Amino acid sequence: MIRLLVADDHPAYRRGLELMLDGSADITIVGAAADGERAVELARTLTPDVILMDIRMPGLDGIEATRRLTRAGSAAAVVVLTMFEDDDSVFAAMRAGARGYLLKGAEQDEIERAIRAAAAGEAIFGPQVALRVIAHFATGGGSVVAAFPSLTEREREVLERVAAGKGNAAIAHELMINLKTVRNHVSNIFAKLQVSERAQAIVKAREAGLGGA
């Protein structure tokens, strides 16, 4: 069962999400927060697997709340769910450590897929947001070897698949290696790229031309 925390300052929208996900067999809402401060507190006490995080909330906003959770080493995967699709909001969320970004017009199945993907360690973006991300990095140049000279050939293969949004299990299947080996490669990649989150690794990889096709 995926434990979900919802952070949104609109009670009606929070209630709508509760009703929407009530029939899900593998997702349960364990808490709700009306601002970023409360979201950070509940993330510590309720240990959710995934947090649906709005951006604009009173007091501490969703971006700063995500950043604090990332710095604190929270295991919860943050998926931003907001009405804002501008580049500043999208990339600020990614830099803060969000693993996904959806717009509030998303359908129920899209939201559920995003929750499951984030819980599995994947990065997930709604269709409109994905197009913006790809367009933003379309002009990113330089070969992967030149950009990341410290990576081994296998690590570059893993990074390419991480940049494409694939989870560790899918990477293990494609490269025909075991899951623990993939995890070790990902850990080494994070250290060499000096990042702490999968979304941050995706940003750097796509700047080098990986995963945008």
How, if at all, do strands 50-53 and 2-7 pair? parallel
Could you report the per-residue pLDDT of 65-91, keeping only the tens digit for each? 999 999 899 999 999 999 988 777 888
Could you report the per-residue pLDDT of 135-179, keeping only the tens digit for each? 655 544 334 545 676 777 788 889 989 988 889 999 999 889 999
- Residue 124 pLDDT > 90, yes or no? no
- Residue 209 pLDDT > 80, yes or no? no
Enumerate residues 6+ apart whose C-beta is below 8 A from 175.
Answer: 154, 157, 158, 161, 182
Overall average pLDDT of the 19-33 stretch: 92
The token pair at 133 is: 């991300």
Residue type present at position 2:
I
- pLDDT value of residue 50: 97
In DSSP terms, which residues pair with 201 in a beta bridge? none
- Residue 54 pLDDT > 70, yes or no? yes
Q: What is the mean pLDDT of the chain?
A: 87
Could you report the per-residue pLDDT of 170-205, keeping only the tens digit for each? 999 988 999 999 999 999 999 888 888 898 888 888
- pLDDT value of residue 138: 58
Overall average pLDDT of the 40-49 stretch: 96
Give buried/exposed letters for 14-44 (b at 16+ CB in 10 A, else e).
beebeeebeebeebebbbbbbbbbbbbebbe
- Residue 22 pLDDT > 70, yes or no? yes
Enumerate residues 6+ apart whose C-beta is below 8 A from 34.
Answer: 7, 8, 9, 11, 14, 57, 58
- Residue 126 pLDDT > 70, yes or no? yes
Q: Which domains does the chain have, with CATH numbers?
A: 2-135 (3.40.50.2300), 139-207 (1.10.10.10)
- Residue 39 pLDDT > 80, yes or no? yes
- pLDDT value of residue 136: 59
